[in-house]
């Protein structure tokens, strides 16, 4: 079975149902399941006539729009491999990906052409021209696509070096999708408001794939805007919303302002708010619950593994934790590092056998475990997992292990602190000491903040220095890029 086989189910069961609804300014498009896959089939025939064959890489450098979905469905129908490129990337980063992946074709949009100017790209297609590329479906014979064939080449964020291409097979995606369909009780009546970028696994796999596999409706939007998103959520059409912590922080501000204006906040039609891609603070969790009555469900995944852990849909949602293993996922903690295995775990890194070998370890039974690089602890009673930060971010001060996330949560709990990031800096006596970078409200008293920290945790965990910044550097999904903080 491949992904196309999975999507064929709602295509046959509910052909006239709206699969994709897109709104951007004056543009308002609704595409049924039948029309979506008929157009994707025609595009697959057209791409095949253009020379795209099974195994070819096809790069995508475009934002959320119906053409992204159509082109992706056409690519996997051909057994080709989709390579999404972050829209925040510029020529150095794009050049590395294109050189490494060697795509047969690049699909982009007119708005992105200035960024690509001067680059050696080869065959390029504009999203605006895709309708004109449709081929003859009657004479088109699609290749046999197996579950073990590559569906995507997803590049890591590259926060510790050049980004690596994770080889994601059809089976890998199927494992994540089928696990989430069960764990989050997806149903055809669902409507997902999707403002996450499709070039990232959060929007592409967790959002788009799950919705299409469930026969639900995707309310696709170009980007996240707090005011517009809040209005759509309150209008009553969506039943699900997935976001990153920064989105929820902005939604809290927007909803709070509306309540102060005396507006109603009826979100009773929504059945699930989900957060991932970065840690969700307990303060945001509590504030959102107080405003809406909904508890955000936090989960944990990686580019290389899809989704691994989730708080319970019909059970406890513990702020600060990422829950328990999803169906089909096994975990263990070795030397404080979280390791996972299951059908969701990627095949390896593209053209990098040494990096692949270094990322896995075998147990006494010969089973292969992926080393996530995330430090974690597991509650012995509930089994819930709490992430402590990346292994390379661990600070060792005076021989003691110091987990940045623990300190960041304390800092974020002090009134006036909007954002906090803690990193280790060399010290002649202690080896390393914690330094905090904070975005704060005007008038914050740093001496009172340090005193608060001393009352909440051991002295060696208290930041030795506070540096105030306008905002923390983040990637497109809201994850703090600590390597970009000033030395």
> Would you state the pLDDT for residue 391?
85
Q: Which of 194, 210, 226 is the last residue of a domain?
A: 210
| Both tokens assigned to 35 | 């029309």
387 has a pLDDT exceeding 60: yes
Among the listed residues 270, 174, 285, 187, the one whose alpha carbon sits nearest the alpha carbon of residue 230: 270
Please report the pLDDT score of residue 472 as a whole number. 92
pLDDT 10s digits, 225-263: 999 999 999 999 999 999 988 899 999 999 999 999 999
Does the residue 41 lie in any domain?
yes
pLDDT score of 384: 97
Asked if the model's pLDDT at residue 466 lies above 60, the reply is yes
H/E stretch holding 321 reads none
Among candidate residues 394, 375, 360, 333, the one with its CA nearest the CA of residue 166: 360
CA 434 – CA 129 distance, rounded (Å): 52
Tell if the pTM clears 0.75, that is, is over it: yes
Q: Is the dihedral of CA 363, 369, 373, 375 positive or negative?
A: negative
Last residue of a domain, one of 147, 177, 210: 210
> How sure is the predictor about 161, in pLDDT bands with cuts at 50, 70 and 90?
low
Q: Which residues, at least 6 apart from 26, have a Cβ–Cβ distance to it below 8 Å?
A: none
d(CA 82, CA 295): 35
Of residues 164, 150, 474, 101, the one with CA closest to residue 303: 164
Q: From CA 425, how far away is CA 433, in angstroms rounded? A: 6
Beta bridge partners of 341: 330
Residue 22's nearest CA partner among 175, 161, 195, 141 is 195
pLDDT of 103 > 90? The answer is: yes
Q: Band the pLDDT of 483: cuts 50, 70, 90.
A: confident
Q: Would you place residue 475 in the very low, low, confident or very high pLDDT band (cuts 50, 70, 90)?
A: confident
pLDDT over threshold 60, residue 76:
yes
- Domain assignment present for residue 35? The answer is yes
pLDDT tops 90 at residue 364: yes
Last residue of a domain, one of 156, 188, 210: 210
Q: Report the distance separating Cα 393 and Cα 373, nearest Å.
A: 10
Mean pLDDT of 113-118: 94
Mean per-residue pLDDT for 287-299?
A: 97
Residue with tokens 């080449």: 153
Q: Which residues pair with 24 in a beta bridge?
A: 27
Q: How far apart are the first and last CA of the chain?
A: 50
Q: Across the strands, what pairs with 167?
A: 153, 348
pLDDT confidence tier of residue 487, bands split at 50, 70 and 90 = low
The mean per-residue pLDDT over the stretch 156-176 comes to 85
Mean pLDDT, the chain, integer = 93
pLDDT in tens, 127-158: 999 989 999 898 888 899 999 999 999 998 65
**Gap between the Cα atoms of 377 and 322, Å rounded:** 11
Say if residue 35 is exposed, middle or buried (CB neighbours under 10 Å; 0-12, 13-18, 19+).
Answer: middle
Instruction: Assess whether pLDDT exceeds 80 at residue 52.
Output: yes
> What is the per-residue pLDDT for 431?
81
Residue for token digits 């008929």?
38
pLDDT exceeding 90 applies to what percent of the chain?
80
Mean pLDDT of 286-308: 96
- Taking 90 as the threshold, does the pLDDT of residue 75 lie above it? yes
> How many other β-carbons are positioned within 10 Å of the β-carbon of residue 210?
24
User: What would the DSSP string read from start to end of 22-48?
Assistant: EEETTEEEEEEHHHHHHHHHHHHHHHH
Task: Report d(CA 198, CA 347) in Å as an integer.
Answer: 22
Among residues of the chain, what percentage have pLDDT more than 70? 99
What gap in Å lies between CA 393 and CA 347, rounded to an integer?
26
Among 208, 145, 210, 153, smallest CA distance to 176 is for 210
Q: Mean pLDDT throughout 27-41?
A: 96
Supply the pLDDT for residue 163: 83
Residue 326 belongs to a domain? no
**CATH at residue 422:** 3.30.300.30
CA 35 to chain centre: 28
Query: Does residue 432 have a pLDDT over 90?
Result: no
Confidence at residue 23, expressed as pLDDT on a 0 to 100 scale: 93
User: Does residue 163 sit within a domain?
Assistant: yes
Checking DSSP bridges between strand 124-126 and strand 165-169, what pairing results, if any?
unpaired
**Within a domain: residue 99?**
yes
Q: Which residue has the tokens 């079975």?
A: 1
Mention every residue, 6+ apart, whose C-beta is less than 8 A from residue 456: 410, 413
Written as six digits, the tokens of 209 are 């794939």
302-352, pLDDT tens digit by residue? Answer: 999 999 999 999 998 999 899 999 999 999 999 999 999 999 999 999 999
Q: How far is CA 239 from CA 228, 234, 269, in A?
A: 16, 11, 6
Strands 329-334 and 431-440, sheet pairing: unpaired
The per-residue pLDDT for 279 is 83
Which pair of structure tokens corresponds to residue 319? 């702020």
pLDDT in tens, 199-219: 999 999 999 999 999 999 999
The answer on pLDDT for 476 being more than 80 is: no
User: Domain range spanning residue 464?
Assistant: 394-484
Q: Which residues pair with 169 in a beta bridge?
A: 150
In a domain, residue 57? The reply is: yes
Whether 42 maps to a domain, the answer reads: yes
Burial of 331 (0-12, 13-18, 19+ CB in 10 A): buried
Instruction: Identify whether 95 is part of a domain.
Output: yes
Residue 88 pLDDT exceeds 90: no
Taking residues 358-362, what's their average pLDDT?
A: 96
pLDDT reported for residue 107:
98
125 has a pLDDT exceeding 70: yes
Mean pLDDT of 362-375: 96
pLDDT digits (tens, 9 = 90+) for 396-421: 887 778 888 889 989 999 999 999 99
Nearest-CA neighbor of 57 among 99, 105, 95, 93? 105
Number of folded domains in the chain?
2
């Amino acid at each position: 079975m491949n992904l196309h086989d999975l999507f064929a189910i709602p295509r046959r069961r509910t052909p006239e149902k709206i699969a994709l609804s897109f709104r951007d300014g004056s543009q308002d498009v609704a595409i049924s399941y039948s029309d979506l896959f008929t157009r994707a089939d025609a595009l697959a025939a057209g791409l095949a006539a253009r020379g795209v064959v099974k195994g070819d890489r096809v790069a995508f450098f475009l934002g959320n729009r119906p053409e992204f979905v159509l082109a992706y469905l056409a690519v996997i129908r051909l057994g080709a491999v989709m390579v999404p490129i972050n829209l925040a990337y510029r020529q150095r980063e794009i050049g590395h990906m294109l050189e490494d992946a060697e795509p047969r074709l690049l699909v982009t949009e007119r708005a992105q052409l200035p960024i690509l100017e001067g680059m050696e790209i080869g065959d390029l297609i504009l999203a605006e021209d895709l309708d004109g590329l449709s081929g003859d479906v009657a004479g088109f014979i699609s290749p046999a696509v197996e579950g073990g064939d590559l569906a995507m080449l997803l590049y890591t964020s590259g926060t510790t070096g050049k980004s690596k291409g994770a080889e994601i097979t059809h089976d890998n995606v199927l494992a994540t999708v089928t696990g989430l369909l069960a764990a989050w009780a997806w149903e055809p009546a669902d409507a997902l408001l999707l403002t996450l970028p499709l070039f990232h696994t959060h929007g592409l796999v967790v959002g788009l794939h799950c919705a299409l596999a469930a026969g639900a409706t995707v309310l696709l939007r170009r980007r996240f805007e707090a005011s517009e998103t809040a209005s759509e959520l309150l209008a009553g059409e969506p039943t699900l919303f997935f976001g990153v912590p920064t989105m929820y922080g902005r939604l809290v501000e927007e909803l709070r302002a509306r309540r102060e204006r005396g507006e109603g906040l009826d979100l009773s039609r929504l059945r699930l708010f989900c957060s991932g891609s970065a840690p969700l603070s307990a303060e945001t969790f509590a504030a959102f619950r107080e405003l809406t009555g909904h508890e955000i469900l936090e989960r944990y995944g990686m580019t290389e593994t899809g989704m691994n852990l989730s708080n319970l849909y019909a059970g406890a949602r513990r702020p600060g934790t990422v829950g328990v293993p999803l169906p089909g996922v096994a975990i263990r903690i070795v030397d404080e590092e979280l390791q996972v295995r299951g059908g969701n775990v990627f095949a390896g890194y593209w053209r990098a056998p040494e990096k692949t070998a270094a990322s896995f370890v075998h147990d006494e039974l010969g089973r292969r475990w992926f080393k996530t690089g995330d430090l974690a602890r597991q509650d012995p009673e509930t089994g819930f997992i709490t992430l402590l930060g990346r292994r390379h971010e661990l600070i060792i001060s005076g021989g003691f292990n110091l987990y940045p996330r623990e300190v960041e949560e304390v800092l974020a709990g002090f009134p006036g602190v909007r954002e906090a990031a803690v990193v280790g800096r060399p010290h002649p006596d202690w080896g390393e000491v914690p330094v905090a970078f904070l975005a704060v409200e005007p008038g914050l008293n740093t001496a009172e903040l340090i005193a608060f920290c001393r009352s909440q945790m051991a002295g060696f965990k208290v930041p030795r220095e506070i540096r105030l910044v306008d905002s923390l550097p983040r990637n497109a999904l809201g994850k703090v890029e600590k390597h970009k903080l000033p030395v």
